[in-house]
Amino acid sequence: MYARIVTIALKPGTSALFSKAIEEGIIPLLRKHKGFVDEVAMVTPDGKTGYGISFWDTREHAEEFQRTGFAQVMKSLDAVLAAPSRVQLCKVTNSTAHHLAHTRVA
């Protein structure tokens, strides 16, 4: 399993709007992409930084989403972005969700 970790600098006072955009727009979009497993979103206590961590069955699925769906995600977050986002791709090595996903895929 792979995780795409997106770090987003948020405009002041937009953490609730960030959360709403994730729930109403981004999660439904992610569910349409092959290999999508789960999404976790969070905001720092000061509201300055948001994180979106999406989990994918394979590296190829994560990379395909980067090419075909990520621009739409960023467009839906335009109102909350204070700076360009940063994306990291990581291999998931340990997680209870990781174990469950392997069981579900098998």
Residues of the chain with pLDDT under 50: 106
Structure pTM? 0.86
Helical residues (DSSP H) of 1-106, grouped into ranges: 15-21, 27-31, 59-68, 70-76, 96-105
**How many domains does the chain fold into?**
1
Give, as one character, the DSSP assignment of residue 10.
B
Residue 56 near residue 62 (C-beta atoms within 8 A)? yes
What is the extent of the structural domain holding 80? 2-105
Assign residue 96 the CATH number of its domain. 3.30.70.100
Q: What is the pLDDT of residue 46?
A: 96
pLDDT score of 89: 96
